[in-house]
Amino acid sequence: MDTFWTIVVILVILWLLGFSLGLVGSLIHILLVAAIIVILIRIIQGRKPL
How many other C-beta atoms can be found within 10 angstroms of the C-beta atom of residue 24? 14
What is the domain range of residue 6? 2-44
Q: Please give the pLDDT value at position 22.
A: 64
Q: Does a structural domain hold residue 40?
A: yes
Q: Please give the pLDDT value at position 23.
A: 55
Q: Does a structural domain hold residue 31?
A: yes
pTM exceeding the 0.75 threshold for the entire prediction = no
Whole-angstrom CA distances from 14 to 26, 33, 48 are 11, 14, 26
Torsion of CA 22, 5, 37, 40, to 10 degrees: -150
Q: Please give the pLDDT value at position 21.
A: 64
| Tens digits of residue pLDDT in 1-50 | 577 778 878 877 877 776 666 656 677 677 788 888 888 888 888 866 56
Q: Does a structural domain hold residue 25?
A: yes
Q: Does a structural domain hold residue 50?
A: no
Q: Please give the pLDDT value at position 50.
A: 60
Domain count, the chain: 1
Whole-angstrom CA distances from 24 to 3, 5, 16, 32 are 23, 21, 11, 13
